[in-house]
C-alpha cells in the first residue's frame, strides 16, 4: 500500500504562503498559535495519522462493525484512537481554555482533520463527532450539562453523535416525530426512532451522547417545534454511576464503503425509560443544530478532499512506477516501455485529481479562516466573515463531495484493471467517497440552501461580499503577464454567474419558487467551479511571487506544478461553466412541467 | 428488491418503431426473423432473465468465485445458465445455419443480451464470451478447429475466453511475451502468463477454450508479430478424451464489483506441456482478435447500459413510493408528505438516467443494425455500413460506460442514505458499473482509436458518412414545429464538432501527433454527446409521428415521456459540448508540456 496520503508541503503552502495563518496569533484568542506551534501541530497530526489511523485503513474496511447482543463491536483500535484524540487535545482543539481547550484556529484544526481523514476517513470520524456534539452542548447547554458531558467527550471517553434522521424524516427534518414528554427541570421522557446515526453505538467508548432532535408534546408543527436534547446511552447520576438509558441499537447498516464507522438505527424509550435533557430553549433545536451541521458540512468537505488526496498520491506513485507503452510518436517496439505518467492522458487525469484536491483544500481553509475571523472580530467585520462563511458552506461541502468522487474515479482509472481490485486501496476509496454527497444534507439540499437561502439573504449581501473577494484576486493577478489571461477568464466567469443569478432572480419573481429552484444543483455546480477557480488563481499568484525569488529546484518544481494545476483548472474545468450557464438561463421548466406518469414504462 | 430491470415497451419502440428491425427479414439470411419471431425471442429472453439470472444477482455478488485446489468455484447456477444459453440458441444466435446457428440479426441478439445483462451482468457474461470466442474460431480457424470447438462452445458445454492481457502488456498489447514454439501442423507449445482473463476458469463448464494471443518464436517485434491460438484447458484427442493441457489458474482477483464472474490469472506451460492451435495465418492474430474485441466493445456498451437500466427502474420505483417533504411553495407542515418523484430535482436525476439508458441503447441498436447490414450487403453499401460501425464502436463502448457510472450514481442518490446500503441493489450496481471504462480497452484507448484512427481513416470518409446520417435526422425533424429548435441545436453542435475536428487536424499537421491526441478522451466525450443527441432526435421524431395518430393514454404517456427525455438531453446534456469545444480548441498543450517532476510533493 502506498505510504503517502497527503502533502505536508502543500498544507504549509496554503497555511503559510497563501493564507498567512500565523497572523492569527496576533489576536489574543489565538496567541499561542504562532508558526512554530502550528508546525508542531501539523507534525503531531501527521504522526498520529501515520501511526494509528493509516495502518488499519484496510482492516477497518474488511471487518466492519457488527451488532452483537445489542452492542456494536468496532475495530479494537477505535478506543485507542479516541483516547489519543482526547489526550492530544484534538477533540478540544477549538474549545476555549476555560473548558480545557486549545483555542486553536479552525484553519489549523481543519488541516489536522484533513490529515487524519486522508489516513483513514472512518477512523477519523469518531473524534470529529465528539468535538461537534460537545461544541453544541458548550454553546447552548446549561452549566450542569456542560460540566457533566463536555469534559468526558473532549477526553474521548464518551462518544458524541448527532441524531436527526428518522425513517419518515431524512431530508425533510421538519417531519420528525420523536417525542419528548416534560418531567420538569429540563428533563424529558424520550420516545422514538432514529436512523443513519453515525457512531450511534460502539464498544470503543464508555458512553454515547446523542445530540438529538425531538418534539416536545404540544409543540408547533414543522421545524418550529423542534427541540434539542442530550440523550445519553447511559445516564450518570450525581455519584457518577451510569444507568442504562433505554436507547436500543436495532440495526447497524451494511454499507458500500465508510465501513470502519458504524451507522446505526436507534430506538429510544422501548421500556419507557429514556431520559433526555433539553439543550437551551424549547423549539429552538433546529437553529442550534445548524451550528453542528455547518461544522459537519465543512467536515464532510474535508473528508471528501482527504479521500481524494489519498487516492491522488496512490495514483501518482503508481503512474510513476508502472511502465506501459511508448510515446505516441514512437513506433519502435524494441524500445523499453515508459512510465505511464509520461502519457498526456495520464497527466490529464493526475492534474484533474490535483486540481480537485488542492482547490478544495484551499477553499476549506479559506472557509476556516472566515470562521476564525468571525470568532474574534466584531461588528461589520464579524458580519462580513459570517456571511462569507454562510454563503460558501454549501459549496465547501458539495464541490469536494461531488468532484471528489470523480477525482477518486480518475485515480482508479490510472491503475487500469488493478484499480478495480483490492490489491490497491483505490477500490476502497471509490466506495468510501460515495457517502459524501448524501450525508449532512444531500447535494440537492445544499443547492437549495445556496440559491434559495444564502444567495438571496440580506438582499444578496453575501453574494456581493463574495464577488468582492474574487475581484480582489482578479485585480492582483491581472498585472502579472502569465496570470492576466486567467484573471480575465475568471472575470468573464463571474459575469456569467452574475447574469445567471439575475436571470434566476427574475424567474423567482415572475414564475415562482419552484422553477427558480428546479436547477439549484446545477447552480451550485456552476458556483462551485468559479469558487475553486478563484482559489486556484490565488494559489497561482502566491506561486508566482515565490518563483520571483530565489528557490531550490525542488521548490521550483512545486511552484511550477501549482501553475500547471491552475492552468489545468482554467483550461479544462472552468469552461464547464459555459454549458451550465446555457442550461440555467434556458426558458423551459422541463423538470417542473413533466407529469410523473410520463416516466413509467 | 425491485422487480423491473428493463422496459420491454422501450425495446419494442426502438426495434420496431425507430429502426424497423423486421425489415431485415426481407433479406434471405435473416428471413426467419419477422416481427412475430422477434417478439418471441424477446419474450424468451425476458423469461430466462427473470427466471434464471435476476434471482441470483445478489447471491453471486455475495459469494464471489474462489480458487480451491487449482479450480475456480462459481455459483452453482452458472452451469445451468450456460446450458440454457446453449439450448435456447442464445450463444449461436448470430451463427449461420450450417453451424447450427440461428442467423439472428445482431439487433435482436443485442436486445436479448441487454435483457440478460440488465438482470445480472456477471451472470450474462459467460455466454457472451462463448459466443465471441466461438465466432473467432468460426471466422478464421481451420475446419478441424471449427468442428472440434465451435459446437461445444455453442452448446454452452465449453467456456470461451479472450486471453490477451499480460502483466507487462495491458493497454500496450504489442508488448506481450507469451511464446509459441512450433511443433508442426499448426500445433505449438505455449509458455507464458495471462492476467485479467474473464471466465478464465470455472466449474460451470466442462472445458475452457482460450482464444489467446502469443508470439511465435522469431516473430517480428511488436504488434506485427502477434498470432492467435486456441489454447484449451483440456485438450481433446481424436477419441474425445480430454487431457490436461497445463494451463494453471494462479489467482482469482478480488474485485470491487462484477463479482459473479471470475477474473483469473493464468500460467501456461509450467510443465512444458501446454499446446496451442494456431488460428489462421501466423502474425495476423491482432487483426483477427479485433473481430472479437469489437464485438466485445459493443457488448461492454450493452452491459453498461443494462446496469444503468436496472438502476434506473429501481430508482424510479423508489421515487414513486418514497414520500419526503412537500412542494417547495407549500409551507404547511400538516399536509402529508409527497412522493419524492414530485420534486423537480428528483425528476432531473431520473430524466438524466433515462436519457443515458435509452440514448445509449438506441445507439447500440443502431450499431447493431449497421453490423447486420454490413453482413448482407455488398460493395459500396457494405463499405458504408462497415465504416459507420467502425467509427461508432469506440463511442458505443465508451458513452454508456462513462455515463452509465454517473447514471447509476444518480440512481443511488435518489435513495438517499438507503442507496449507500445493501438493502437495495444500487450499491452493487454502482460497484458493477465501474468496470466498463476499464475492460476491452480503456476510455483512453477508445479516445485514441476514435480520433487517431477512425476519424482520419480513408480521408475522413467515416466521419462524412456519420455527418450525413445526422443530417438526415436533422432534415426530417426541422419541419416539425416542436422539434425544429432541437434540430437547429443539433446542427450547431455538429458544426462545433466539425470545427473541433478541423482544428485538431491542423494541430496534427503543425504540432505533431502527441498534441493532436492529448485530449482524445475529451474529443470522444464531445463526439459521444452529439451521437446520443442524434439518437434522441431520432426517437423524438418517431414519438411525434406516433402521437399524431390515435393512441391510448398509456401510449401517449410513453411517447410524451420520450419527448421530455429528448428535451432533457438537449437542454441539459448537449450544452456540455460548449465547454468541451472550448477546451479542445485551446492553444496550449498543457498535458504534453508539463514535466513529470512538477507533480511530486
Tell me: the pLDDT tens digits for A422-443? 999 999 999 999 999 999 999 9
In whole angstroms, give the CA distance from residue B316 to residue B568. 17
- Average the pLDDT over B520-544 and give the result: 98
Of the candidates B161, B87, B173, B108, which has an alpha carbon nearest to the alpha carbon of residue B131?
B161
Q: Which fold has domain A160-283?
A: Butyryl-CoA Dehydrogenase, subunit A; domain 2 (2.40.110)
Residues of chain B with Cβ-Cβ distance to A413 below 8 Å are 437-438, 442-443
- Average the pLDDT over B86-104 and give the result: 97
- Average the pLDDT over B275-297 and give the result: 96
CATH no., domain B159-283: 2.40.110.20
Q: Does A587 touch chain B (CB under 8 A)?
A: no
Percent of chain A with pLDDT over 70: 100
Active site residue B380: no
Q: Does A252 touch chain B (CB under 8 A)?
A: no
- Closest approach of A448 to chain B, Cα-based (Å): 10
- Average the pLDDT over B488-500 and give the result: 98
Q: What DSSP element (H or E) covers B277?
A: strand B275-279
Burial class (CB in 10 A: 0-12, 13-18, 19+), A532: buried
Confidence of residue B601 (pLDDT cuts 50, 70, 90): low
Of the candidates B320, B325, B346, which has an alpha carbon nearest to the alpha carbon of residue B414?
B346
Binding-face residues of B in 144-203 toward A, CB within 8 A: 165, 168-172, 174-175, 195-196
Q: A263-297 as b/e, with b when 16 or more CB fall inside 10 Å?
A: bbbbbbbeeeebbbbbbbebbbbbebbeebbbbbb
DSSP sequence for B6-48? S-HHHHHIIIIIIS-GGGGGGSGGGTT--HHHHHHHHHHHHHH
C-alpha cell at B142: 481451420
8 Å CB contact of B520 and A345: yes
In whole angstroms, give the CA distance from residue A207 to residue A231. 11
> What percent of chain B is helix, strand and coil (3-state, nearest 5)?
60, 15, 25
CA angle at residue B356 from B577 to B125, to 5 degrees? 125
Count the neighbouring beta carbons within 10 Å of the beta carbon of residue A244: 12
Tell me which chain A residue has its CA closest to the CA of residue B348: A591
- Average the pLDDT over A45-65 and give the result: 98
8 Å CB contact of B333 and A174: yes
Binding-face residues of A in 61-100 toward B, CB within 8 A: none
Confidence of residue B301 (pLDDT cuts 50, 70, 90): very high
**Mutual angle of helices A457-477 and A484-511, in 10-degree steps:** 170
pLDDT at res. B358: 98
DSSP strand pairing (A207-216 vs A226-232): antiparallel
- Average the pLDDT over A53-78 and give the result: 97
8 Å CB contact of A579 and B583: no
**Mutual angle of helices B344-376 and B379-414, in 10-degree steps:** 160
Length of chain A: 601
CATH no., domain B8-154: 1.10.540.10
Residue-wise pLDDT for B226-259, tens only, equals: 999 999 999 999 888 999 999 999 999 999 999 9
pLDDT at res. A601: 65
Any idea which residue has 443511488 for its cell?
B412
Structure-derived torsion over alpha carbons of residues A32, A33, A34, A37, reported in degrees to the nearest 10 = 100
Of the candidates B253, B202, B207, B255, which has an alpha carbon nearest to the alpha carbon of residue B232?
B207
In whole angstroms, give the CA distance from residue B318 to residue B231. 47
According to DSSP, residue A149 is labeled H
ipTM above 0.90, yes or no: yes
Q: Does B422 touch chain A (CB under 8 A)?
A: yes
SS3 B568: helix
Of the candidates B393, B436, B439, B446, which has an alpha carbon nearest to the alpha carbon of residue B165?
B439
Q: Does B322 touch chain A (CB under 8 A)?
A: no
DSSP sequence for B446-497? HHHIIIIIITTHHHHHHHHHHHHHHHHHHHHHTTSTTTHHHHHHHHHHHHHH
Q: Is the pLDDT of residue B377 over 90?
A: yes
Confidence of residue A535 (pLDDT cuts 50, 70, 90): very high
pLDDT at res. A331: 81
In whole angstroms, give the CA distance from residue A266 to residue A289. 19
Percent of chain A with pLDDT over 90: 97
Of the listed B440, B469, B525, B573, which one is catalytic? B440
- Closest approach of B427 to chain A, Cα-based (Å): 6
Q: What DSSP element (H or E) covers B227?
A: strand B226-232
8 Å CB contact of B599 and A195: no
In whole angstroms, give the CA distance from residue A385 to residue B149. 74
In whole angstroms, give the CA distance from residue B353 to residue B403. 9
Residues of chain A with Cβ-Cβ distance to B324 below 8 Å are 168-172, 175
Q: Where are the domains of chain A?
A: 8-154, 160-283, 442-588
Length of chain B: 601
pLDDT at res. A117: 98
Q: Is the pLDDT of residue A2 over 90?
A: no
SS3 B92: coil
According to DSSP, residue B342 is labeled G
Q: Phi, psi (5° rounding) for residue A66?
A: -135, 150
pLDDT at res. B1: 43
Q: Phi, psi (5° rounding) for residue B187?
A: -105, 135
- Cβ neighbours of residue B434 under 8 Å, at least 6 residues apart? A409, A412, A420, A430, B256, B257, B405
In whole angstroms, give the CA distance from residue A16 to residue B506. 45
Residue-wise pLDDT for B427-452, tens only, equals: 999 999 999 999 999 999 999 999 99
Tell me which chain A residue has its CA closest to the CA of residue B561: A598
In whole angstroms, give the CA distance from residue B396 to residue B319. 29
8 Å CB contact of B341 and A253: no
Q: Is the pLDDT of residue B2 over 60?
A: no
* Among A420, A504, A533, the residue to mutate for chain B (most B Cβ within 10 A): A420
Q: Is the pLDDT of residue B460 over 60?
A: yes
Q: What DSSP element (H or E) covers A192?
A: strand A187-198
Count the neighbouring beta carbons within 10 Å of the beta carbon of residue B334: 6
Residue-wise pLDDT for B135-180, tens only, equals: 999 999 999 999 999 999 999 999 999 999 999 999 999 999 999 9
Residue-wise pLDDT for B539-574, tens only, equals: 999 999 999 998 999 999 999 999 999 999 999 999
In whole angstroms, give the CA distance from residue A21 to residue A384. 19
Of the listed A440, A469, A525, A573, which one is catalytic? A440
Of the candidates B394, B387, B515, which has an alpha carbon nearest to the alpha carbon of residue B445?
B394
DSSP strand pairing (B158-163 vs B66-68): unpaired
Q: What DSSP element (H or E) covers A267?
A: strand A263-268
Q: pTM of this prediction?
A: 0.98
DSSP bridge pairs for A214: A227
8 Å CB contact of A165 and B417: yes
Residue-wise pLDDT for A436-478, tens only, equals: 999 999 999 999 999 999 999 999 999 999 999 999 999 999 9
pLDDT at res. A221: 94
8 Å CB contact of B337 and A175: yes
Contact B504, B516 (CB under 8 A): yes
In whole angstroms, give the CA distance from residue B506 to residue B591. 18
- Cβ neighbours of residue B59 under 8 Å, at least 6 residues apart? B75
In whole angstroms, give the CA distance from residue B49 to residue B41. 12
Of the candidates B404, B397, B406, which has an alpha carbon nearest to the alpha carbon of residue B449?
B397
Amino acid at each position: 500500500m502506498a505510504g503517502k496520503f497527503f502533502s505536508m508541503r502543500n498544507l504549509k503552502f496554503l497555511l503559510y504562503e497563501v493564507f498567512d495563518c500565523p497572523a492569527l496569533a496576533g489576536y489574543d484568542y489565538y496567541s499561542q498559535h504562532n508558526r512554530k506551534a502550528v508546525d508542531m501541530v501539523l507534525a503531531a497530526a501527521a504522526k498520529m495519522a501515520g501511526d494509528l489511523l493509516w495502518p488499519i485503513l484496510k482492516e477497518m474496511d474488511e471487518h466492519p462493525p457488527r451488532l452483537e447482543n445489542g452492542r456494536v463491536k468496532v475495530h479494537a483500535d477505535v478506543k485507542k484512537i479516541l483516547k489519543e484524540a482526547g489526550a492530544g487535545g484534538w477533540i478540544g482543539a477549538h474549545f476555549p481554555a476555560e473548558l480545557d481547550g486549545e483555542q486553536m484556529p479552525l484553519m489549523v484544526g481543519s488541516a489536522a482533520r484533513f490529515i487524519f481523514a486522508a489516513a483513514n476517513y472512518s477512523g477519523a470520524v469518531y473524534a470529529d463527532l465528539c468535538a461537534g456534539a460537545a461544541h453544541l452542548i458548550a454553546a447552548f447547554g446549561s452549566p450542569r450539562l456542560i460540566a457533566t458531558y463536555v469534559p468526558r467527550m473532549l477526553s474521548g471517553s464518551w462518544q458524541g453523535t448527532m441524531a436527526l434522521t428518522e425513517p419518515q424524516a431524512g431530508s425533510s427534518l421538519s417531519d420528525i416525530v420523536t417525542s419528548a414528554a416534560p418531567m420538569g427541570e429540563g428533563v424529558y421522557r424520550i420516545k422514538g426512532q432514529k436512523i443513519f446515526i453515525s457512531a450511534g453505538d460502539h464498544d470503543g467508548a464508555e458512553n454515547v451522547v446523542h445530540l438529538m432532535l425531538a418534539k416536545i408534546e404540544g409543540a408547533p408543527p414543522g421545524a418550529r417545534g423542534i427541540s434539542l436534547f442530550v440523550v445519553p446511552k447511559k445516564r450518570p447520576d450525581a455519584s457518577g454511576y451510569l444507568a442504562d438509558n433505554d436507547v436500543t441499537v436495532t440495526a447497524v447498516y451494511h454499507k458500500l464503503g465508510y465501513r470502519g464507522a458504524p451507522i446505526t438505527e436507534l430506538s429510544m424509550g422501548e421500556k419507557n425509560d429514556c431520559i433526555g435533557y433539553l439543550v437551551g430553549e424549547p423549539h429552538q433545536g433546529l437553529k442550534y443544530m445548524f451550528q453542528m451541521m455547518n461544522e459537519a458540512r465543512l467536515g464532510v468537505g474535508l473528508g471528501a478532499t482527504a479521500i481524494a488526496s489519498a487516492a491522488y498520491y496512490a495514483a501518482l506513485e503508481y503512474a510513476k512506477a508502472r511502465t506501459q507503452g511508448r510515446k505516441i510518436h514512437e513506433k519502435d517496439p524494441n524500445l523499453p516501455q515508459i512510465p505511464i505518467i509520461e502519457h498526456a492522458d495520464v497527466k490529464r487525469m493526475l492534474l484533474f485529481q490535483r486540481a480537485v484536491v488542492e482547490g478544495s483544500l484551499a477553499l476549506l481553509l479559506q472557509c476556516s479562516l472566515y470562521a476564525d475571523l468571525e470568532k474574534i472580530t466584531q461588528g461589520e467585520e464579524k458580519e462580513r466573515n459570517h456571511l462569507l462563511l454562510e454563503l460558501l458552506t454549501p459549496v465547501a461541502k458539495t464541490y469536494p463531495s461531488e468532484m471528489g468522487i470523480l477525482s477518486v474515479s480518475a485515480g482508479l482509472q490510472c491503475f487500469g484493471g488493478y484499480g478495480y481490485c483490492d490489491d490497491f486501496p483505490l477500490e476502497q476509496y471509490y466506495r468510501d467517497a460515495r457517502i459524501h454527497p448524501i450525508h449532512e444534507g444531500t447535494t440537492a439540499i445544499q443547492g437549495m440552501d445556496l440559491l434559495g437561502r444564502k444567495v438571496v439573504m440580506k438582499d444578496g449581501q453575501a453574494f456581493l461580499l463574495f464577488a468582492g473577494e474574487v475581484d480582489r484576486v482578479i485585480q492582483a493577478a491581472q498585472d502579472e503577464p502569465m496570470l492576466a489571461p486567467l484573471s480575465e477568464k475568471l472575470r468573464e466567469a463571474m459575469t456569467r454567474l452574475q447574469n445567471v443569478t439575475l436571470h434566476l432572480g427574475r424567474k423567482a419573481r415572475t414564475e415562482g419558487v419552484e422553477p427558480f429552484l428546479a436547477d439549484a444543483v446545477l447552480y451550485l455546480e456552476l458556483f462551485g467551479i468559479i469558487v475553486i477557480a478563484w482559489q486556484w488563481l490565488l494559489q497561482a499568484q502566491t506561486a508566482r511571487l515565490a518563483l520571483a525569488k530565489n528557490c531550490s529546484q525542488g521548490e521550483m518544481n512545486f511552484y511550477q506544478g501549482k501553475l500547471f494545476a491552475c492552468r489545468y483548472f482554467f483550461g479544462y474545468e472552468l469552461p464547464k461553466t459555459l454549458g451550465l450557464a446555457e442550461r440555467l438561463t434556458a426558458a423551459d421548466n422541463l423538470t417542473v412541467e413533466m407529469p410523473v406518469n410520463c416516466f413509467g414504462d
